[in-house]
Structure 1
Amino acid sequence: MVSERSLEVLRAIVGDYVATREPVGSKAIVERHGFGVSAATIRNDMSALEEADLITAPHTSSGRIPTDKGYRVFVDRLAEVRPLSQAQRRAIEEFMAGTNEPDALLDRSVRTLAQLTGSVAIGHLPSLLRSCIHRIEVVPLSDRRVLTVLITDTGRVEQRIAELPRVLDTETLEQLLRDLNERLVGKLLQDAAEVLRDVDEIAAPEHHDLVTPIAEALIDQVLANKQYRLVIAGAANLARTEGDFSSILPVLEAIEEQVVLLRLFAELEVRDHDVAVSIGHEHDGTPLEETSIVATGYTADGGDARVGLLGPTRMDYQRNIAAVRAVARYLSRVLDEPTG
């Protein structure tokens, strides 16, 4: 067991290393932090931290840097989350205001996070198959082309263009819209595809050729909500902050492919929408072993999803936790309100 003072030394090392990107020595700790003890005493504390595998020497210099285990102790026991300033909170609300549409709002959210933190911001919408259909519209674009519009009770809007084999007259269109809305409004998305596949139940036989491409477009719109959707912003931040491009190349590839990120996001234990942090080798076996992920949940009416950050293990955990928490609370406040 390391002493409480040694843990405070660890806090100082993490803070200085995040700020300077340079290994931290005992002399710097004495000069920058008010421990009231000698450099020799600090060196003893640093030895205890090194024996506990909380700090390590990157080379033969006297300076030390935190290990993944050290960052974990810092996050779990030592990090005091600094609240965002009023200006930062106002910036979040102003940048994200103006839309309640889930896709657009999530896109604004991750761009806001990336700008606030200088990290890679990540978010996803939940699978919305538990949402219900609020309304269906079919808008003529030309004699044989229509725009199908599916609106969910969460405010999500899906649009597709359908090509028709012949002209759809106004009377038939109005009847088709009545039939579609009568059968589909209020139904769960996961049930709507089955209804749409039964063209006999939607329209009279003489209109099957017209209804079929419209139904196929609507099925595509329903199934578009089947998977989680990942939105990423700020990948260039990683390239700007990390000088060793050989080490970040696998990370950038993982960001582009998204599969690993999606799995790691899903595996994070986010309890009661608290902020969860995964660090370095906790991503064992992935290209992200030198990164940390800070994430939390937000609530949309169609289900739970997550928003967070990815960056080097040497990140400002206190600032990033506060930023992720603030953005997630805004998303929950806006998206958890049913559409009228």
Structure 2
Amino acid sequence: MSTSSEDAPAFDVLLAGTVFFDIVFTGFPHPPAPGTEVWTTGMGSSPGGIANLAVATSRLGLCTGLAAGFGDDLYGDWMWQVLRDQEHVDLSRSRRFHAWHTPVTVSLAMDDDRSMVTHGHPPPESVAALLDPPPPTRAVLADLGDPEVRSADWWRTAAAQGALVFADAGWDPEQVWDRRILTDLADCYAFTPNAQEAMGYTRTDSPQAALRALADHVPLAVVTRGHEGVIAIDSATGEEAEVPALDVAAIDPTGAGDVFAAALVLGTVRGWPLTKRLRFATLCSSLAVQQFGGSLAAPGWGDIADWWRDVRTRADAGESSARETAGAYSFLTDCLAGMTTRRVRRAEATIARFSDADLASPDAEPPTAPSSGL
């Protein structure tokens, strides 16, 4: 997707949605029960919601534009600063709203799953209005499970202008699995549900059958299966692939799917083969679940470099599983060449004023425009 500087899109990725102030609790000795108090061993605060995707794409070097509403309260101030100044997300299409308070989510991460409690109100102005018309972009990430997103024109307009739309639909708590979502996929390049969602929307009884049904609707169909890995079909290239999950000690699954999608976008706009894209996305999401805090758990290239160095060290020491992993991920050596591996900030138990990310080397510049090399 190489373009000249004169006609290059304004963004690599364009996003729109709601930003939540997330408070994530981890390390429960036992589940909380009514009338009791539970002390946990971990807690993190971070921007959440659509910010999970924004941080994940930006940390991978994709020039990211976000359209979202922000309150003018303390939470809103902090998240605006984190996303714009620390994570280098372009907020020129976002707005601050006076006297509108930031939506808040408390997430309880237990046993590789989570429960959430949320409070908030609709923003004074529709997010879709902030993208009328949308700026040029290489890719769009859209949640079709959100009725407001499904009814919006901005992402369809972006698709008509050449953007690749990567769609997800999310969990249907009523498990109705509205099949009209499949009709909406006509304007999408990729669909990335998990296995249960994929089977629900396609009315099939196995992830493999769901994948083949979805491949009739989008060029790139991807079904994630948790610890069983991921399967996908790229109809445009004729590729089919299955990639196993990496064995990691997960502490918080919040945002893992968003990190997977972000990495998949990067691999797609770089023109990688399907298996390589899936392995890279699997790695990034595996790194994310080992941190807590949703958006700020997303890996940067420094985290990827650290993981790759550790795998090669163990492989050189004769560890058989590490040798197998090193062979599967040998492409990382080329991917990491020339990449800036600046430090990234993790979620902290409070709204932190300072971060060790500020100690990054002075040559760690944020992505300011789409690169023709993507």
What range is the shorter-chain TM-score in?
under 0.3
Higher Cα Rg, which structure: 1
Normalized per residue, which structure has more helix? 1
- When normalised by structure 2's length, the TM-score is 0.25
- When normalised by structure 1's length, the TM-score is 0.27
